[in-house]
């Protein structure tokens, strides 16, 4: 076998070029950019296109459609016309996707909700990566007691089902917020779901980092650095960390996908983003009661989640293919 030593990971330009050649990953990236951009422009849409305020209840209101004035809450279709249902998708700029049970514009709320969902999931992913990298590097590099303690802690956290763990953390913070000495985090702060989701997924990300560091510690260039008397912190910073970044970069999109799913689940259980703020999860929950009459309220944000998570997963796959040196050298012989 032509067992050549694997080339050193060059995460830079080569990976970018590899990724750029991956059509699926580029499509996914385009979808992500498009969705993020439209969510960022949510206020513009609400003010200038839909011309509604998606945060105030509008049960008694009405809108103009094709010159007719139409009530937002309409009598049900059943023979007795009992009860009211919010207006369905109108096909117009106003209430494009219809209204929710409080008469708010679902399309505008979805864009605003997307802002929160994307913000929470990306921040949670980044925070999780930072925590996991610190824990993984500490455990993998220092070994011994540090490794034992951290690994056991990860084992323990890993044993609690992710959602139950998040629920436990949420329920103690959701009613009163968090008080850490001078720091007060309000109960409706986005920081709470961010920290909770990041914490919950730390074991998930720390394991591969630790494994990578363990492998790197055996690598000859680290041994060489040690023999040269390079201080430990320099080895960690300049020899270990750059080599771990590949692992972190690949984990990033996947973690964000997981975080987005977790965020929507927590919000669906009404322990994530708190009203009147929206996220895709809360809108799906709003739509739960309307699922048989106005299914679009729940379907649309769900589709948004599916699209973003799918794009993130494809992007993560693409990054892994572009960065993973092991895969590219496997074709030897």
Considering the rule CB under 8 A, would residue 101 count as an interface residue with other proteins? Answer: no
Q: For residue 164, state whether it binds other proteins (rule: CB under 8 A).
A: yes
* CB-nearer residue toward other proteins: 61 or 302: 302
The pairing of strands 183-185 and 178-180 is antiparallel
Give residue for tokens 């998708």. Answer: 89
- Residue 184: what are its φ and ψ, rounded to 5°? -120, 125
Measured from the Cβ of residue 327, the count of other Cβ atoms closer than 10 Å reads 11
Residues 6+ apart with CB under 8 A from 61: 71, 72, 103
Kindly write out the interface string for residues 235-274 of this chain, putting x where it contacts other proteins by CB under 8 A and - elsewhere: ----------------------x---x--xx--xxxx---
Paired with 85 in beta bridges are 74
Contacting other proteins within 293-322 (CB under 8 A): 295, 298-299, 302, 305-306, 309-310, 313-314, 317
Quick note: the x/- pattern for other proteins over 115-154, rule CB under 8 A, is: -------------------------------------xx-
Q: How far is the CB of 148 from other proteins (least distance, A)?
A: 11
Question: Which residues partner with 69 through β-bridges?
Answer: 64
Contact 316/250 with Cβ under 8 angstroms?
yes
Comparison of 225 and 320: residue with beta carbon closer to other proteins:
320
- Give the E-state strand segments of 93-220 in sequence order: 178-180, 183-185
CA separation for the pair 277, 17 (Å, rounded): 40
Of residues 115 and 294, the one with the C-beta less far from other proteins: 294
Residue ranges in contact with other proteins by CB under 8 A: 1-4, 152-153, 155-165, 167-169, 171-173, 175-181, 257, 261, 264-265, 268-271, 281, 284, 287-288, 291-292, 295, 298-299, 302, 305-306, 309-310, 313-314, 317, 330-331, 333
């Amino acid at each position: 076998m032509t067992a050549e030593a694997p080339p050193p990971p060059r995460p830079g330009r080569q990976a970018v070029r590899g990724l750029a050649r991956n059509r699926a990953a580029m499509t996914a990236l385009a979808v992500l950019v498009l969705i993020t951009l439209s969510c960022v422009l949510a206020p513009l849409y609400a003010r200038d296109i839909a011309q509604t305020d998606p945060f105030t209840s509008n049960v008694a209101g009405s809108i103009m459609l094709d010159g007719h004035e139409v009530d937002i809450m309409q009598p049900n279709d059943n023979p007795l016309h009992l009860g009211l249902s919010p207006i369905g998708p109108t096909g117009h700029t106003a209430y494009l996707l219809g209204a929710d049970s409080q008469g708010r514009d679902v399309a505008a709320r979805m864009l605003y909700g997307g802002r929160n969902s994307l913000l929470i999931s990306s921040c949670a992913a980044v925070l999780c990566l930072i925590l996991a990298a610190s824990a993984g590097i500490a455990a993998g590099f220092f070994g011994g007691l540090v490794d034992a303690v951290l690994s056991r802690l990860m084992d323990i956290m890993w044993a609690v089902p992710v959602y139950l763990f998040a629920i436990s953390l949420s329920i103690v913070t959701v009613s009163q917020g968090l008080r850490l000495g001078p720091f007060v985090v309000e109960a409706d702060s986005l920081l709470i779901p961010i920290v909770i989701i990041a914490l919950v997924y730390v074991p998930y990300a720390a394991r591969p980092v630790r494994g990578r560091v363990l492998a790197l510690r055996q690598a000859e260039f680290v041994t060489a650095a040690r023999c040269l008397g390079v201080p430990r912190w320099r080895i960690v910073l300049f020899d270990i960390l750059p080599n771990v970044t590949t692992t972190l970069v690949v984990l990033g999109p996947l973690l964000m996908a997981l975080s987005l799913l977790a965020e929507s689940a927590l919000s669906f259980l009404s322990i994530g983003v708190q009203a009147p703020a929206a996220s895709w999860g809360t809108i799906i929950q709003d739509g739960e009661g309307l699922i048989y009459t106005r299914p679009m309220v729940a379907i649309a944000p769900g589709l948004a989640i599916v699209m973003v998570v799918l794009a993130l997963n494809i992007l993560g796959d693409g990054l892994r293919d572009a960065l993973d040196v092991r895969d590219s050298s496997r074709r030897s012989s």
